[in-house]
Amino acid sequence: MPGVVVVGQVARDLVLVVDRVPEEGGSTDVRERQELLGGKGANQAVACRRLGAEVELLGVVGADRAGEDVLAQAAADGIGVGGVLRREGVPTALLVDVVGPPGVRRLLEDVAPAALLTAEDVRSRAGLLQDAGAVLVQLQQPGPAVVEALAAARGALVVADGAPADARTRRRVLDAADVVRADGSEAEALVGWAPRGVPETVRAARELLEQGPRVVALAAGDADVVAWADGHVVLPHLGEDPVDPTGAGDAFVGALAVALLRGEDPRTAAWWAAAVAAQVVGTAGGRPHLDPDRLRETVRRHRGA
């Protein structure tokens, strides 16, 4: 299978599991602490790697100790980090996930503007994108970097995730991406209007399919809609005991991309993605071992096939 390149945020993720967030002036004990490689780019890269793909990251970290640590962790996870830029004088992005009570997350994000990709950064890594089998591009990165990545990835399966930064970027995304995906808060920027409920979300997905992409995945409340030329599927959230939603959307995107790259049909790829997301929400920090038997069992049980 040709490799995957993920273009997006690489960060340090500090996961703090608490019983509750303290009142003003109060304190609480942390029940569990994890310090991980995080950020949407790294999370998607880890999911793809755990599903067996060869993966390279393209992103920015600081020339600090945290940057060293997260790149060492990515390398230990089997992810190629030659494409990650180390920027002098920039602190590596920090994401603090405060998890508690179970299933409820609050995110404190410290991402300096200089920890985002520029078009020049992407140009300097164009070779990586040209050789990729699939390129996952996160639309949280600045528009010019996204546009550059879409152009360089022309030969690959292009998957765009998130809300485009502006109208020009949106146009380029719809022209260039094979797969687009947005969560509830991002859908309006991608679609142009805010779909509510499953029927409107299906209609929004059909509109997007007419503008270029071959597969569209949109969140609709507690479900995901995945649509393609001649069909769609509405996937319930399959996680039974959600602990931490961190990384579930990223794992969904990664799994969808890997399954499509392997030649699965969109319906099968969608079920696979939902099963992977379910395994992720069952674990604080969103970085579980992905057990193929359990994934197959989850799909079989819910899909009924």
Q: Which residues bind to a second copy, rule: CB under 8 A?
A: 14, 16, 18, 21-30, 33, 65, 69, 91, 94, 96, 98, 104-111, 245
Q: How far apart are CA 160 and CA 6, in angstroms?
A: 10
Chain centroid offset of residue 34 CA: 20
Least CB distance from residue 254 to a second copy, whole Å?
21
Least CB distance from residue 238 to a second copy, whole Å?
19
Nearer to a second copy, 35 or 200 (CB): 35
Nearer to a second copy, 28 or 130 (CB): 28
Least CB distance from residue 171 to a second copy, whole Å?
28
Tokens 């040709």 label which residue?
Answer: 2
Residue 23 amino acid letter: E
Q: How far apart are CA 258 and CA 7, in angstroms?
A: 15
Least CB distance from residue 89 to a second copy, whole Å?
15
The span from the first CA to the last CA of the chain, in angstroms, equals 26
* CB neighbour class for 136 (10 Å; exposed up to 12, middle 13-18, buried from 19): buried
Q: Sign of the CA dihedral 57, 177, 118, 107?
A: negative
Nearer to a second copy, 68 or 77 (CB): 68
Least CB distance from residue 66 to a second copy, whole Å?
9
Least CB distance from residue 111 to a second copy, whole Å?
8
Nearer to a second copy, 23 or 293 (CB): 23
* CA-closest candidate to residue 3, choices 266, 257, 278, 233: 257
Tokens 């990223």 label which residue?
Answer: 250
Least CB distance from residue 41 to a second copy, whole Å?
17
Nearer to a second copy, 106 or 301 (CB): 106
Nearer to a second copy, 140 or 298 (CB): 140
Q: Do the Cβ atoms of 137 and 153 come closer than 8 Å?
A: yes
157-161 and 179-182 strand pairing = parallel
Nearer to a second copy, 25 or 304 (CB): 25
Alpha carbon of 119 to those of 145, 160, 173, 207, 300: distances in Å? 4, 16, 15, 29, 43
